[in-house]
Chains A and B, each alone.
Chain A
Amino acid sequence: MALLEVQDLHVHYGAVHALQGISFTVEEGQVATLIGSNGAGKSTTLRTISGLVRPSSGSIRFDGQHIGAMAPHKIVRLGIAQSPEGRGVFANLTVHENLEIGAYTRNDRAEVARDRERVLHLFPRLRERLKQLSGTLSGGEQQMLAIARALLARPRLLLLDEPSLGLAPQIVKTIFQIIREINESGTTILLVEQNAHMALRAANQGYVLEVGKIVLADDAHKLSQSDEVRKAYLGIS
Chain B
Amino acid sequence: MEDAFLALLRLDRARGGRWGALRCWCGAALDAVVRGGGSRLRATIGGGREHSLDEDGRGGEIMGSLTSDVRFAVRALRRRPVFTLTATLTLAIGIGANAAMFTVVNGFLFKPLPYEDEDALLALYAGNPSLGWSGFDVNPANAWDWRGRASTLEDLTLFNEDAHNLTGGDVPEMISSIRVTPNFLSVLGHQPSLGRDFRPDELGEGRDRVAILTDGFWERRFGRDRSVLGSTLTLDGEPVTVIGILPAVFLFHDGPTDLYRPWGLDFASLARDRHMANAIARMREGASLETARAELEAIAGGLAAEHPENEGWTVEVTTLRHDVVGDLASAASVVLMGAVGFILLMACVNVANLLLARAGGRSREIAVRVALGAGRRRIVRQLLTESVVLAVLGGVVGSVAAVWGARATVAALPASLPPVFDFRMDHTVLLFTVSVTAGAAILFGLVPALGATSPRSDVLRAGRRTGPSRGARRFGSTLVTLQTAMAVLLLVSGTLLMRSVSGMRSQDLGFLPENVVTARISPPEAQYRTAAEVSAYWEAVTHQVRGVPGVTDAGTTQSHPLMGSNWARSVRIAGQDMSEDEARTVRLTLASTGLFEALSFGMVEGRTFTDRDVADAPPVAIVNEAFVERYLGPDDDPLAQTLLGERGWSASVVGVVRDVRERAVDEVPEPSMYLPMLQSPTRSRSLVLRTVGDPGEVLDAVQAAVWAIDGDVPLANVQTMTSLVDDRIGGFAVIGYLMGTFAFLSLLLGAVGIYGVTAFAAGQRTAEIGVRIAFGARREDVIATVVGDGARRAGLGLVVGIALALVAGRAMSGVLVDVSPYDPVTFGAVTALLAVVSGFGLWIPAHRASSIDPVEALASE
- On whether the two chains bind one another, the answer is no
B interface residue numbers (CB < 8 A to A): none
